[in-house]
Amino acid sequence: MTLDLSAEEQAMREGDLGPAIALAMRVICRTGDAMRAERLLAITGAHIDSCLFHGQAGLDFAARLASDGARVKVPTTLNVASLDLVHPELFRGPSDTGAKARELMSHYETMGCQPTWTCAPYQLDNRPSRGEHVAWAESNAIVFANSVLGARTHRYGDFIDICAAITGRAPAAGLHLDENRMGQVVFDLGDLPQSVIQHGLLAPVLGHFVGGRVGALVPVIHNAPNFTEDQMKSFGSAAASSGSVGIFHVVGVTPEADTLHAALGGQAPQTTITVTLDDLRRAWGELSTTSSEKLGAVSLGTPHYSIREFDRLLELLGSRQVDPRVHFYVNTGRGVAAELALRGWLGRLEKAGVQLVTDTCTYITPVMSPFDGAAMTDSPKWAYYAPGNLGVEVVFGSTEACVESAVAGRVVGDTGPW
């Protein structure tokens, strides 16, 4: 099968619009072939993950595009990078790596991308509407765009994200198409007690469980509570870490799932899984690597914390302060940080002993001070990746437990329906 290109698309590929567009179009077409696409489609926006430094190859690619004069054709936001430009003193990596990471970021700014530096572009003002085709990279952003916003993006990754932004095109395949967005596996929460359904840990723990069970199939959550956007952020990021979930449906909550019938596209599900309390207990246990009480750090905000989550954090902290032996970090976007400043919340966070990290995240780049003991988090994604990336022991818990532990200076576990 070969791609059917329009005259304009052919001209782009042949180099009539310059070498940068030609390179970008070749990458789009070759990837389209790998996805068995028959044509390309126009996109209205892009979110770029390639700005995070992973080595010379990524830098060489951006440098080639930028020096050949590439400019993005659609509004394009940037994912987290390896450096916090607002708090540059936090970077503890080798200076050579830092310099290359900064150079990479500059290339993407040169190409006209907006320096948003956030993994939660859905918290920005202009977010895509239902049915809009975009090219988003970053697994948690992808699953949020498809599931919660009803926009359409395939699971894009590094390189193709910027190529789509430069050409304004993406392969008409994968999650852009109706037939690949319909639910395949039903997770029925109907047997769970109300105390669990209403519990704040349900969304992250269920996300971890669902991702591990479905792989790349499309899950449908049935008999779920009316999840908030922040809860669906947590659920989706977990499911996209333990599995390859690019879209999920919550019956009665997400836009393509008014009914179970609609979520399944009128088809019978491949499987229906009745979720039990034991399933959730096991999934919850998997997210911690230690039961030690010794606490060295707390990290929240993976994906980036929203204004509502900061509101809740400040409420939980009250007038208390973090124990001086514990490093307390919250990752967020610089847009949300600016709003924190406007609301006068930055001072309150600082006084409580909270270190803000913007533009990046504590699990992808060395910004955390060395510490003894476990790191605690309310993020299933951080709990999933930090042990491998940072070599730390992790305790996963609710935001309440993270705050109580930070104040107490030792791990205070969750109590509740688990």
Pick the piece of the chain touching another protein (CB under 8 A) from 44-52, 89-97, 124-132, 201-209. 44-52
> With contact defined as beta carbons under 8 Å apart, do 199 and 64 qualify?
no
Q: Which part of the chain contacts another protein (CB under 8 A), choosing from 153-161, 220-228, 301-309, 407-415?
A: 153-161
Sheet hosting strand 327-332, strand order edge to edge: 354-358, 327-332, 295-305, 374-377, 394-396
Q: Which stretch binds another protein (CB under 8 A): 108-116, 144-152, 369-377, 387-395?
A: 387-395
The residues, ordered by sequence, that sit 6+ positions from 100 with a Cβ below 8 Å of its Cβ are: 53, 56, 59
- Binding letters toward another protein, positions 132-151, x by CB under 8 A: -----xxx--x---------
Shortest separation between residue 397's beta carbon and another protein, angstroms = 20
Buried (b) or exposed (e) across 55-69, using 16+ Cβ within 10 A? eeebbebbbebbeee
Residue 37: both structure tokens together = 């696409």
334-342 and 345-352 helices cross at what angle (nearest 10)? 100
What is the smallest separation between the CB atom of 216 and another protein, expressed in angstroms? Answer: 6
The DSSP code for 128 is P
- Complex with another protein: residue 204 or 225, whichever CB lies closer: 204
> How many Å apart are CA 356 and CA 83, to the nearest integer?
13
Q: x/- binding map, residues 244-283, to another protein, per CB under 8 A? A: x---------------------------------------
Residue 338 interacting with another protein (CB under 8 A): no
Q: Which is nearer to another protein, 49 or 256 (CB)?
A: 49
* Cβ nearer to another protein, comparing 23 with 340: 23
- Which residues, numbered 9-38, are part of the site for another protein (CB under 8 A)? 23, 26-27, 30-31, 34-36
Among 45, 58, 219, 296, binds another protein (CB under 8 A): 58
Spell out, one character per residue from 296 to 335, where the chain touches another protein: x when CB under 8 A holds, - when not: ----------------------------------------
- Reference 189, options 138, 226, 243; nearest CA is 226
Strand spans (E) along 18-165: 40-42, 46-48, 76-78, 135-136
Query: Applying CB under 8 A, does 393 fall inside the site for another protein?
Result: no
